[in-house]
């Protein structure tokens, strides 16, 4: 699951001075690598749950793709924002197994399949590729299809593949990451993202950046995917319609803002450093997502589902303290490289101790605004 910064498309790049100074931390946008205690690979239980949740849509979309393309003998799959660890192969395995079962059902030979794993060049591809032998071994048991795995480093806000070469694209929990921090956030002081105390200008800046980025993504993918090719995309979104600023009290970036303000109070971070840090992230609602897809015009919406979002706190069979630290580790795994690039390494352990404490304080939060959005698209 993954993130994206690009400085190669002029319309989506920073002013050079800002890129080198104020927003340099965005270049560190990647998940924590390796397989240690604080790594993304170790702390991606939520992302695994989301992949399982989206499985019915992915299976149906894959079947429809095969039938609409009259069972091609070659299939090229792209996993965009693959991040690192075993989760990378869950959706790909589902696609391959679905193709194999469908071909067996209609008495056709399964196609050869190329699987392209994409993320930013800073991503820890090494940890991911260590799992390729296990992936291939499992495929030999569950599928007769021949599969070849490749890496495709680069931003998915740029062209990644040759024209009309892809048949199906999957991306999970990656496209809510923006290509850059929106401009004009000077008045959103003390917050790393949108909160109820943010000015309307902050919401408009974030929405505008999301619209630009996602429109660019759709246009670029429309060049790379074949006619009647498919995409299944999963986002972190929100269920608020009337108040675009409202995020619940236990929203993960709200808790990070509170934790950083704790460190400000203790003199461990400066006010100027805190005010200069904003997440390159946006959680669209259903209407905002639909609007971008329809306005861009390259894809038709087949399905759009919403599901509950839970970092896992309410499902733990452990005390609030342990659950709080597990949630803190999850957020640390997706944000630590950026935080280190901006604030330095010395504050990180203390910061996420504070974060875990705030999680336990909001353990009974039920009025949650965050959800998962799953959309299935067909190239026109």
Domain range summary for the chain, segments of one domain joined by +: 24-379
77 pLDDT band, cuts 50/70/90, is very high
| pLDDT for position 142 | 77
Nearest Cα neighbor of 220 from 44, 60, 9 is 9
Please, are residues 69 and 63 in contact by the beta-carbon 8 Å criterion? no
Cα separation, 74 vs 278, whole angstroms: 43
At 230 the pLDDT is: 98
Residues in contact with 113: Cβ distance below 8 Å, sequence separation at least 6, in sequence order? 74, 75, 76, 77, 96, 99, 145, 146, 147, 148
Q: Give the pLDDT of residue 378.
A: 98
Domain 24-379, what fold?
Rossmann fold (3.40.50)
pLDDT at 322: 74
Q: What is the pLDDT of residue 13?
A: 37
Contacts 24+ apart (CB under 8 A), 192-195: 192/253, 192/256, 192/257, 192/260, 192/277, 192/278, 192/279, 193/247, 193/251, 193/253, 193/254, 193/256, 193/257, 193/278, 193/279, 193/281, 194/244, 194/245, 194/247, 195/245, 195/247, 195/251, 195/254, 195/257
d(Cα 228, Cα 330) in Å, to the nearest integer? Answer: 37
CA distances for 222 relative to 64, 156, 164, 218, 333, angstroms: 18, 12, 8, 6, 32
Q: Where are the beta strands (DSSP E) in the chain?
A: 74-80, 112-119, 146-153, 166-172, 225-238, 299-308, 370-379
Cα distances (angstroms) measured from residue 368 to each of 215, 241, 246: 28, 13, 10
Which residue, among 263, 250, 200, has the nearest Cα to 359 in the 3D structure? 250
pLDDT for 371: 92
Task: Please say whether the beta carbons of 3 and 15 come within 8 A.
Answer: no
CB 277 within 8 A of CB 269: no
Structure confidence at residue 153 (pLDDT):
93
Model confidence pLDDT, tens digit, residues 80-126: 998 877 778 889 999 999 999 999 999 999 999 999 999 998 888 88
Residue 277, by phi and psi: left (phi above 0), alpha (psi -120 to 50) or beta? beta
Per mean pLDDT, which of 23-32, 280-289, 309-318 is the most reliable?
Answer: 280-289
pLDDT tens for 123-153 read: 888 888 888 888 888 877 777 778 999 999 9
How far apart CA 269 and CA 224 sit, in angstroms, is: 45
Please determine, for residue 167, whether its predicted confidence score (pLDDT) is greater than 60. Answer: yes
Torsion of CA 66, 92, 26, 211, to 10 degrees: 20
Out of 33-37, 71-75, 202-206, 282-286, least confident range: 33-37
pTM: 0.88
Query: What's the pLDDT band for 31 if we cut at 50, 70, 90?
Result: low
Of the CA atoms within 13 Å of residue 358, those in its CB half-sphere come to 22
DSSP one-letter string for 173-227: S-TTB-SSPPS--TT-TT-SS--TTS-HHHHHHHHHHHHHHHHHHHHHHHHHEEE
| Six-digit token string for 169 | 């694209």
CB contact at 8 A, 369 and 247: yes
pLDDT beyond 60 at 11? no
């Amino acid at each position: 699951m993954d993130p994206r910064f690009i400085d190669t498309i002029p319309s989506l790049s920073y002013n050079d001075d800002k890129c080198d100074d104020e927003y340099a931390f965005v270049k560190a946008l990647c998940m924590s690598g390796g397989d240690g205690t604080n790594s993304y690979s170790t702390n991606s239980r939520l992302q695994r749950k989301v992949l399982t949740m989206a499985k019915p849509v992915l299976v149906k979309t894959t079947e429809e793709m095969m039938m609409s393309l009259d069972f091609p003998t070659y299939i090229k799959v792209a996993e965009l924002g693959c991040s690192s660890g075993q989760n990378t192969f869950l959706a790909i395995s589902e696609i391959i197994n679905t193709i194999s079962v469908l071909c067996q059902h209609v008495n056709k030979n399964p196609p050869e399949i190329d699987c392209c794993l994409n993320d930013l060049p800073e991503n820890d591809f090494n940890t991911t590729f260590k799992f390729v032998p296990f992936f291939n071994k499992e495929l030999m048991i569950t599928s007769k299809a021949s599969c070849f795995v490749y890496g495709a480093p680069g931003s998915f806000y740029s062209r990644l593949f040759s024209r009309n070469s892809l048949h199906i694209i999957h991306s999970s929990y990656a496209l809510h990451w923006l290509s850059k921090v929106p401009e004009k956030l000077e008045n959103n002081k003390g917050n790393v993202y949108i909160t109820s105390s943010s000015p309307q200008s902050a919401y408009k800046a974030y929405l505008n950046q999301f619209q630009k980025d996602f429109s660019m993504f759709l246009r670029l993918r429309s060049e790379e995917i074949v006619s009647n090719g498919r995409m299944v995309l999963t986002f972190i979104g929100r269920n608020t319609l009337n108040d675009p600023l409202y995020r619940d009290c236990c929203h993960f970036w709200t808790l990070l803002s509170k934790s950083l303000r704790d460190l400000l109070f203790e003199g461990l971070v400066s006010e100027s450093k805190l005010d200069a840090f904003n997440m390159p992230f946006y959680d669209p609602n259903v209407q905002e997502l639909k609007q971008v897809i329809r306005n861009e015009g390259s894809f038709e919406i087949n399905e759009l589902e919403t599901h509950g979002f839970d970092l896992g706190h309410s499902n733990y069979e452990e005390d609030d303290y342990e659950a709080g630290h597990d949630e803190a580790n999850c957020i640390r795994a997706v944000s630590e490289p950026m935080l280190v690039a901006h604030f330095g390494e010395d504050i990180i352990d203390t910061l996420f101790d504070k974060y875990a404490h705030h999680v336990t304080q909001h353990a009974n939060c039920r009025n949650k605004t965050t959800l998962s959005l799953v959309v299935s698209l067909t190239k026109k």
